[in-house]
Structure 1
Amino acid sequence: MTAEQWLTRIFADRAPRRFGSGWLSGVLAIALGLLSVAAVLCLHFPQWLTMPELRARYPLPLVRAAIDSAILATLVLAGLSMLLRRRKVLGLAGLALAGLALALGAGGVAIADAPASRVHIGLDWFVLGTLTTAALFVPLERAFALRHEQGPFRKGWLTDASYFFMSHALVQLMSLLVLVPATWAGQALAVAPVQAVVQALPLVVQFALIVLVADLAQYAVHRAFHAVPLLWRFHRVHHSVEQMDWLAGSRLHLVDVIVTRGLVLLPIVMLGFDPNATYAYLGFVSLHAVFIHANFAPKTAWLERWIAMPRYHHWHHAIEPEATDKNFAVHLPMIDRWFGTYYMPRQQWPSGYGVSGLHLPDGYVRQFVSAFVPTKRHRSG
């Protein structure tokens, strides 16, 4: 039995999962417990487990109070699950995690003076990302699900959760391999008069222009990853997802991430956009990329023509042959209309997702390695 099967058996047992059954409180207790333990570890080892850019900005009294509150909530939720549910495994797991967080010192951990480490991971960034993203998209998917039968613990969820963790934990590596080269190249290629014109624009216009420029770059890079066999080896990891939800968009090979983000950032740096407009775009793209993969079916046909919605991007992942290599843009469907790669059947959703003939192994490491092994490309979707 794989780790995913074992965990799914715990989380998605045959006992009822309706409201009041103790399932939701148990799962929330485990999630909060894990995040609480991670947050306490960040207090113990800030020089190794937190981002220097964020570390100096944290209001520590509020952070400590939030950690203690999360541990208390974990205890309450775990206890509630044990009261309501015949199988006690969810509640016991939540209690164990809360106990571990308390044993580690909870929010009262004294932060020792230690020399800054040259190497760190973004565990704090992972905690913040999980809290904000899951809190927004999990309720959204439960309330307006496209596929109600899918549930949060669908096939491949643990693999995608690993990708979500690595994308946040490897933030320093991303900075070195993406931000530094793109910034250097963008500044070297910049044309001062063009930058002056761009910087004179209102911030809202700059933001709109960034979305257009970034999506044009994204379109070109994304289409190349589909067309060039060497690049497809890495991008096929993303298309190996067979069930879509808010975690599915995290499944991206490291090489895919580095190349795509670097080449999308390059024109943004070259044009010299105001940092505030750039930060606004980075916040927008981080949420929008999750949104378009979500198991979410909004009824907004009028909006689909102008901004990428889940149905538009779901067709990019569709198993249907007619949808192959369509809808490359991430934000603006009009770009696909310009280049003849737009596909959106009226009021229809794909029957399934993935790539015909492609079955990658589960797990972050095994999928990372598989991308370096050439295989013949089979696609009917």
Structure 2
Amino acid sequence: MEKYIDLIQNSYYGYWRYLKYELISINHWDNYFYGLIAISLVVWGLEIAFPWRKNQSAFRKDFWLDTFYMFFNFFLLNLIILIALSNTAAEVFNDILAVVGLSLDNLQLFNVNKLPKVVGLFIFFIVSDFVQWNTHRLLHRFPLLWDFHKVHHSIKEMGFAGHLRYHWMEPVIYKSLLYIPIAIIGGFDVQDVVLVHFFAIAIGHINHANLGWNYGPFKYILNNPKMHIWHHAKELPPNSIYGSNYGITLSLWDYIFKTDYIPHNGRDIELGFEGDEEFPTHFVEQTFYPLTKKKDNK
């Protein structure tokens, strides 16, 4: 037990030092804090210059709430719980494996360090995006998970910052389901993975932005605003009570597994979910909603 307590303490201290370093250091290209700001400003600028819904304000409904969510979920949440939880869960998992005489090294299928860097990054990207696509489907399928995911679907006007409006339990679920597949592959260089993360952030911002893009023939590979808006549609597809278009970065999985749905131009469709008029509108209330809700509105 003492080992885990020390691990939790070291996780807090380590991430706090990292966060301070990110805030004061702007001379390294893989700075997540200023990278997020740069990507956000670029996509927001595109929204303002090329708005799909021309009557939507640049400071749309819940703009500041979503901006708070963006920085809270991307940085403060790690400080409060995620890093310590992730490190502790990983250590517990390793200890359980050790009981039966195994380790993550025994479970690794291959090490990407032995492959060309581009190939390794591609494998990381494909595996992580596919696992996240499946996790996203689970968030819609199971009532308890859906209660957490409602925070994200309470968006009523799409904008770039809505990408990171989500309940703090979501990354716990995503990271838990992603841990083993990535550990089995192993050997990823942290700085290289930053490239994949920045790409995913940019695509996620664009998907939620007030932009009418679909990338032409590449729409069957990359998720895009004209596709993703239907994922946020209040009216569900006639063939699925759980929604559609679960793609995170890639739309490919939806087309392969027949969960795609783009019946027409969705520029002006109503967003949200059934019963969202009763959903809390403030951060604290949304955080505790799964514990305080009176009934499932789905």
TM band (smaller chain): 0.7 to 0.9
**Structure 1, 178-187 or 324-333: larger mean CA deviation:** 178-187
SS of residue in 2 equivalent to 1:147: coil
The percent identity for this pair of structures is 26
For 2:22 and 2:149, how far apart are their aligned partners in 1? 36
Distance in 2 of aligned mates of 1:269 and 1:217: 13
| Alignment match, 2:56 | 150
Q: What is the TM-score of this pair, normalised by structure 1?
A: 0.62
* Residues 180/245 of structure 1: CA separation in 2 closer, same or farther (3 Å cut): farther
Q: Does 1:234 align with 2:148?
A: yes
Q: Which residue of 2 aligns with 1:69?
A: none
1:1-381 equivalent positions in 2, closer than 5 A:
51-53=16-18, 55=20, 128=34, 131-167=37-73, 168-172=75-79, 173-178=81-86, 181-182=89-90, 185=93, 188-191=103-106, 194-196=109-111, 198-275=112-189, 276-298=191-213, 300-322=215-237, 324-345=242-263, 347-349=265-267, 351-359=269-277, 360-379=279-298
Shift, 1:315, TM fit: 1.3
Q: Secondary structure at the match of 2:110?
A: helix
Cα distance in structure 2, aligned partners of 1:314 and 1:297: 10
Q: Deviations over 1:309-328 (max 9, x none)?
A: 12222111112321752111
Shift in Å, 1:355: 0.5
How many Å apart are 1:353 and its aligned residue?
1.0
Distance 1:149 1:326 in 2: 27
Aligned residue for 1:220, secondary structure, equals helix
Name stretches of at least 5 consecutive residues in structure 1 with no aligned partner. 1-46, 64-123
1:215 touches 1:332 (CA, 8 Å); kept in 2?
yes
Aligned-partner SS, 2:291: coil
Aligned 8 A contact 2:108 2:185 in 1: no
Alpha-carbon distance in 1 for matches of 2:125, 2:76: 26
Structure 2 unaligned regions, length at least 5? 1-11, 98-102
Evaluate the alpha carbon distance shift between residue 180 and residue 144 of structure 1 in structure 2; reply closer, same or farther with a 3 A threshold.
Answer: farther
Code of the residue aligned with 1:52 in structure 2: it is: R
Bigger Rg over Cα: 1
CA RMSD of aligned residues (A): 3.0
Alpha-carbon distance in structure 2 between the residues aligned to 1:376 and 1:138: 36
Contact kept, 8 Å, 2:231 with 2:244, in 1: the verdict is yes
Figure out how many residues of one structure are paired with residues of the other and give that number: 269
Structure 2 counterpart of 1:176, one-letter code: A
| C-alpha distance in 1 between matches for 2:55 and 2:157 | 11
In 2, the alpha carbon distance for the partners of 1:358 and 1:256 equals 19
Partner residue, 2:100: none
Mapped partners of 1:253, 1:134: distance in 2: 20
Q: Structure 2: how far apart are the matches of 1:278 and 1:177?
A: 21
Equivalents in 1 of 2:225, 2:209: separation in Å? Answer: 6
> What amino acid maps onto 2:77 in structure 1?
L
CA distance 1:257–1:288, change in 2 (3 Å): same
Task: State the 1:57 CA deviation.
Answer: 7.6
> Could you tell me whether the CA contact under 8 Å between 1:179 and 1:262 is conserved in 2?
no
State the Cα deviation string for residues 25-75 of structure 1 (Å, max 9, x = none): xxxxxxxxxxxxxxxxxxxxxx99x94236558887x78xxxxxxxxxxxx
Cα distance between partner residues in 2 of 1:193 and 1:367: 39
Q: Do the aligned partners of 2:144 and 2:290 also contact (CA within 8 Å) in 1?
A: no
Q: Could you state the TM-score of these two structures normalised by the residue count of structure 2?
A: 0.78
1:362–1:346: structure 2 CA closer, same or farther, 3 Å change rule?
closer
Q: Deviations over 1:261-319 (max 9, x none)?
A: 33224422331042144232222223222221111122522111111112222111112
